[in-house]
Amino acid sequence: MSSIARLTGAAIAAGVVAAAIALPAVGGTGAMFVSASEDLGIKPQELKEPPLAQKTTVLDAKGKPIATFYEEYRENVRLDQIADIMKTAIISIEDFRYYEHGPIDIEGTVRALAKNLSSGGIAQGGSSITQQYVKQVLLNSGTTKKEKNAALEASYARKLNELRYAMAIEKKYTKDQILEKYLNIVYFGARAYGIESAARRFFGVPAAKLTLPQAATLAGAVQDPLQTDPDRGKEYKERLLARRNVVLDRMAELKKITPEQAAEAKATKLGYKGTPLPGGCESSDYPYFCMYVRNEILSNVDFGKTKKERTQFLNRGGLEIRTTIDPKMQAAAEKAIKKHVFASDNPVASEALVQPGTGQIKAMAASRKYGIRKSKNEMSYNVVADAVHGGGVGFQAGSTFKPFTLLTALKQGMKINDGISVGGGYRAPAFWSFKNCKGNNVGDPSFTVTNAEGGDGGFESLATGTWGSVNTFFMALEQKVGLCNVVKTAKSLGIKRSDGLDLQEYETFTLGINEMDPVTVATAYAAIGARGKYCTPMAITSIKDRDGKVTNYKPKCKQAIDPEVTDAAASIMSGVFTKGTMKGVGGIGRPAAGKTGTTDAQSTAWFAGFTPDLAGAVSIGDPRGAVTHKLNNIRIGGRYYGSVFGASIPGPIWNDTMKAALKGIPATDFTPVNTSRFGGCGSSCAPRRQEPRNDRPDNQLDEADIDTTFNH
């Protein structure tokens, strides 16, 4: 045979094979395909089948789903979990000789070859189910737009490659296995991938419960899911209905159903329900916590080296993420906030609950719903957390920072009744009276810090100064123990700015000039409650992957402060409820300690506190700008406030939350103070016996009357 003859024969064979690949499958394997493929050297080629993208489910601490993440909404099922009528419908319309032929169907190819050649291209499309599965795998494997387009390219070269893969697939799997894989990978429209998701999305039933008209509808949708997507409107629904009827006619023609069954099914309405897909954080009952979990995975290298890897891990991994959130404690926080602050109020209250000794976040709640609807006064960011976890800039923490100075003083050997005589105003003796951790002088002798309501001062011990939240005392105490030492104490308890910037290390650090978020503050206070054991905030306890492998995550903790130091601090701070700024509100019926916080002229207000079992922090401020929208002469929660202090709203929210959250949990006592080490006074005793300061209203003892925008 001449070279020209051989070339012509090869070309014809190529045309036959290429046409066969491009045509609907209507026959069995034949000698023509075998000889043509051998002449062209077509051999099976192994297809890489990466795991399909599957939805990730987030669970609360009790195992109840609270959110779903996915790139493609898909739930894989076994073939025996799919209704037989669905299998029949898809085979009837897509590849009716599926169980009789190999990778392609030659009989149908031969009949259509002339039409394709005369058209100068591919006049008729279609592939065997095996080939369609190959195409879907290639499409899903593409990570770039170029790769995905290549998987859909209308060319004989692509079809020949598909054939090579299809030949390998037919050798690797049984027909049932291929059909199962195909039904789990194919797109049906309406954002539903795979038969199980499609059945639930279209009709609100599992794939095992599909009826004849429902099965015919889904079988018809796979040909052109975009043009028959019922979510796109009436015109598209009409196309889907027409396509359903084509499937029913074909099933009747193949005698898979009777003409009467086909007619009865065609007489039914489309029946599309559009069952809502499980959503992300927007539709979660716990949106702020959900955002925290999502951002924890996206930002933490424990879940992937790169942002892309972590995103795929979350959205494609088919994971089951068990979290720390406690439904009972979350409900307690939400109810307490709702009681005191309305969703329609401009100021927003937010609260986080953290477990001492583990760092587990038990609740994250806010007075406003999460969302983007301004008409509903919704929040579009995570007001309870820092920027890394979807939050914003936070609010200045006010006097909730004073315990870090208290702890530093106790670490340096001061006793509970040691103190300092102070006046009604404090001014740094010199620029070098305060040095930041870089060694720079940050004192300002020209600026005066005053006490709330212009208090006259006097001798304040560590105890009375804390109870009364005396600004001038804490400024003098910070000067004595060293600003940098206070900063180090705060950092050892996880204190960092909500916006991610460096802490502002100025002389007014102890008065809470840094913007914080409730999770960070609650975690720091939880460490005091855990006797100095600081644990990184923890939201995820375990992750089960698509193969059932479970990875458990343990708390990341360290002993940050001497336990006996925190025992003494807890003892002092417990007096805030009985002798200090929370006296008018009262305690919670079990051992508890805490600190109110109010910034300059009531820009923001806080309360943070702890028991040995649970810690929490509550903030309130106006997200439009706390400095320009202060909490004075304002209605919040239906009640008028001349000025909002830490004990006005945050304190009561914390109390109400704790009482409900800890109901039924036996109370745990604080460890008694080592009186030989911290009892009485040492070198800084009071000049004379003095009762606790009660000369001011209980809810007005906590202001930090300074310009909190003062940054030198």
Domain ranges of the chain: 3-52+76-266, 374-541+555-700
- Give the percent of the chain with pLDDT over 90: 72
**Per-residue confidence band for 600, with pLDDT thresholds at 50, 70 and 90:** confident
How far is the CA of 550 from the CAs of 50, 113, 301, 304, 587, in angstroms?
Answer: 20, 53, 18, 16, 42
Please identify, in words, the CATH class of the domain defined by 3-52+76-266. Answer: mainly alpha
Strand 192-193, strand 73-74: pairing: parallel
How far is the CA of 197 from the CAs of 74, 178, 194, 317, 332, in angstroms?
Answer: 5, 19, 6, 16, 35
- Lowest-confidence region among 25-39, 361-375, 490-504: 25-39
**Per-residue confidence band for 30, with pLDDT thresholds at 50, 70 and 90:** very low
Please compute the mean of the pLDDT values over residues 72-83 and round it to a whole number. 93
d(CA 66, CA 78): 26
d(CA 167, CA 179): 15
d(CA 688, CA 494): 38
Q: Is 50 exceeded by the pLDDT of residue 273?
A: yes
- Lowest-confidence region among 101-110, 170-179, 324-333, 667-676: 101-110
Please compute the mean of the pLDDT values over residues 380-390 and round it to a whole number. 94
Q: Are 375 and 408 in contact (CB under 8 A)?
A: no
State the pLDDT at residue 120. 45
Please compute the mean of the pLDDT values over residues 434-441 and round it to a whole number. 97
Task: Tell me which residue has tokens 């959110």.
Answer: 67
State the pLDDT at residue 84. 98
Comparing 109 with 17, the larger pLDDT belongs to 17
- Lowest-confidence region among 384-388, 446-450, 452-456, 570-574: 452-456
* Cβ neighbours, 10 Å, residue 470: 28
State the pLDDT at residue 607. 98
d(CA 369, CA 378): 5
d(CA 534, CA 75): 40
CATH topology of domain 374-541+555-700: Beta-lactamase (3.40.710)
Q: Are 139 and 158 in contact (CB under 8 A)?
A: no
Please compute the mean of the pLDDT values over residues 273-283 and round it to a whole number. 85
How far is the CA of 652 from the CAs of 206, 573, 610, in angstroms?
Answer: 48, 17, 14
Q: Is 90 exceeded by the pLDDT of residue 152?
A: no
Tens of pLDDT along 231-254?
999 999 999 999 999 999 999 999
SS3 250: helix
Q: Is 90 exceeded by the pLDDT of residue 704?
A: no
Query: Chain-wide mean pLDDT for the chain?
Result: 87
Q: Is 50 exceeded by the pLDDT of residue 592?
A: yes
